[in-house]
Amino acid sequence: MASTLEKLAEHVDGKVFGNADVSIDSVATLPNAKTGQISFLTNPLYRSYLATTSASAVIVNEFIQDADNVNQLVVDNPHAAYARIAQVLYPRQKHVAGIDATAVISENSRVDASASIGANVVIAEGTEIGKDVCIKANCYIGRDVYIGDDTLIYPNVTILDEVRIGQRCIIFPSAVIGADGFGHAYDDGGWLKIPQVGTVIIGNDVEVGSSTSIDRGAIENTVIEDGVKLDNQIQIAHNVRIGENTVVAAGVGIAGSTTIGKNCMFGGMVAVSGHIELTDNVVITGKSTVTKSLNQPGSYSSAIPVESSRVWRRYVGRFKRLESLFKRVTDIEKTLKENKD
C-alpha cells in the first residue's frame, strides 16, 4: 500500500530531510533498495551503503551530513519506525468473514459473524471465537476454548479444551496449546498418569511460533502474560508462568512450575530447570543452562563456543584433569611454604 515519505514521517513522528513528496511503496535493504523503496540504518556496518543506495528514503536516528544523495527520515528509534512503516506498506491481509463450508463447528460453540474460519477447521462445543478472529485451514479448537478478538491462527494448529487466548495474538502453524503436562507417578514398577486438570491462559498480543508446545497445568494453570513473544519449537511445561513482554528465541525449553519475570530475553536453545524463579529483566544468552533461581536482573551465560575438534578434545582432556592440577598446585604451595620455613 504505497504512501509518501511525508505521510510515513507523520505516522512515526519523524522529520524529513530531502524530498518529502517522494512515493514509497515497499521496503528493502540499503544495498539492494531501488526507487520507491525505504530502508533503515541501525547497524553502523551498513553506513557505507548510504553513499551508493538507490533507496528513495532511509530511516536514521540523526541527520547524516554526507549522505545528501538519499532522502532521510530522522526518528528517535529507527528500528521501531521501520516496523510501523512496514506495517503501513504491508497491511495484514484482510480476512473474509465467514465459515468455510468444510469446517466442522459444534452447534454449541459461538463464532462471531466477523470471524473467518478456514477449510476443515474443527471447533468443539462450548467454544467462543471473538470478533475478526481468523482461523486458517485444518486447525483443531477444543471444547470450552475462548479466542479473543483479532487473533490470527495459522493452519494445522491444535488448541485443546478450556484454553483461553487473548486479543491480537498470532499462533503459527503446528503450535500445540493445552496438551497434557508431563506428569506421572512411579508405582509398582510402572508410571501412573497424573490427570492434568489445569489449562493454559494466554494474554493479549502474544505470539506463539511454529511447532511450539505450551502444556496445560497439572492442577493450576500455565500462564503466558500480555505481550510475550515465543519463537518456534519452544517447550513450555505445565504450570510455567512467563511475565509481560518477555521474548523467547527458538528451541528454548522451560521445565515445569518455573516462573519467568517481565521483559526477559532468552537466546535460542536455552534450558531452564523446573520449580525456579527468574526475576524481571533477565537476559539468558543462547544455549545456556539455568538450574537455579536468578534474583538479579542482568545477562547470564553458560555456553562455550566451538574450537577446532582437535583442539577441543585437548580442552576436554585438560578439563577432566583439573582436579589433579588443583592438587599439584596445592602440593607446590606446600613445598614452597616448607622451603621458606
For β-strands 247-248 and 229-230, DSSP reports them as parallel
Site for a copy of itself in 240-299 (CB under 8 A): 245, 247, 249-251, 253, 255, 268-269, 271, 273, 283-292, 294, 298-299
In the bound state with a copy of itself, the residue whose beta carbon lies nearer, of 65 and 218, is 218
CB of 67 to a copy of itself, least distance (A): 20
Cα–Cα–Cα angle for 193, 197, 203, rounded to 5 degrees: 130
Site for a copy of itself in 53-112 (CB under 8 A): 77, 79-80, 82-84, 86-87, 89-90, 100, 102, 104
Site for a copy of itself in 6-35 (CB under 8 A): 26-29, 32
**Radius of gyration, CA atoms only, the chain:** 27
In the bound state with a copy of itself, the residue whose beta carbon lies nearer, of 66 and 323, is 323
Instruction: Single out the residue of 197, 279, 280, 281 in contact with a copy of itself (rule: CB under 8 A).
Output: 197
85 within 8 A of 13, measured Cβ to Cβ: no
Region of 14-22, 51-59, 66-74, 153-161 interacting with a copy of itself (CB under 8 A): 153-161
In the bound state with a copy of itself, the residue whose beta carbon lies nearer, of 51 and 80, is 80
Distance between CA atoms of residues 62 and 229, nearest Å: 30
How far apart, in Å, are the Cα atoms of 291 and each of 25, 129, 273, 288, 301? 49, 39, 5, 10, 12
**Dihedral sign of CA atoms 314, 319, 321, 326 in order:** positive
Instruction: Single out the residue of 118, 130, 148, 203 in contact with a copy of itself (rule: CB under 8 A).
Output: 118
For a copy of itself (CB under 8 A), the number of binding residues is 124
Residue of 299, 249, 255, 262 lying closest to 276 (CA atoms): 255
In the bound state with a copy of itself, the residue whose beta carbon lies nearer, of 68 and 92, is 92
